[in-house]
Structure 1
């Protein structure tokens, strides 16, 4: 029986433990309650959200940096290190298909969110601001 691959927006949350997803949702709820009581600070928070890196951007930046480091080390120190860029690329491919690779659980536990999660907070903040 073949499994279907999750959609783009669902890949990371589907492969994240539910307790981590729940903690991220609770943090958003806590922030929304705070800003509902402090609407004069909403514009600043929206600006922060515009600059927040999502899990995809964070993963891409980290993977590309590691690939470059290992290419340099492989070329100058030990050719066996050239295997690491291939491993990293394989994990990126796995992430593209499934939404999971070794750094994702760490990033999620550190609070790195998906673009959808960031956008949901922004829309909720804008709704709070517009209701004022």
Structure 2
């Protein structure tokens, strides 16, 4: 029972990111993914494998948020020590954004990333799976 309550309180990042992203952006990302898969349907095995390698290296919304907020926290902490203690507030704010992401699965920064076309790990994995299916498809 306790585990069920925890699941309800901590939504999956994928569902929250998609819920808080305007439909036209979700649909654009989906269209671009479908277009990529359709393009690779006409390509050779080597090209498909190269694309899968690219997808393995593609940064998703979570990674981008974590790196950006950690970088802000790090730099503002240095500035707080070296220049002015008020910079510590920025470190605290970036930490709060990471906590919000962990608990709610969404932050305003994610909305900006989505507008830039940054995909979630599930969206990247869907393209990867579709490409892997192309490799396993009998000719």
Length-normalised TM-score, structure 1: 0.90
Structure 1: gaps spanning 5 or more residues? none
Aligned with residue 55 of structure 1, among 36, 44, 61: 61
Q: 1:17 aligns with which of 22, 34, 44?
A: 22
**Does structure 1 residue 64 correspond to structure 2 residue 55?**
no
Determine if the alignment matches structure 1 residue 89 to structure 2 residue 110.
no
Q: Is the 8 A contact 2:77 2:88 kept in 1?
A: yes
Aligned to 1:7: 12
Of residues 37, 45, 50 in structure 2, which corresponds to 1:44?
A: 50
Per mean C-alpha deviation after superposition, the further-off stretch among 96-105 and 120-129 is 96-105
Runs of 4+ with deviation above 4 angstroms? none
Distance in 2 between the 1:122 and 1:23 partners? 18
Aligned residues: 130
Q: Could you list the runs of 5+ residues in structure 2 that have no partner in the other structure? A: 1-7
What secondary structure, in the 3-state scheme, does the structure 1 residue paired with 2:59 have? coil
Could you tell me the TM-score, scaled by structure 2's length? Answer: 0.86
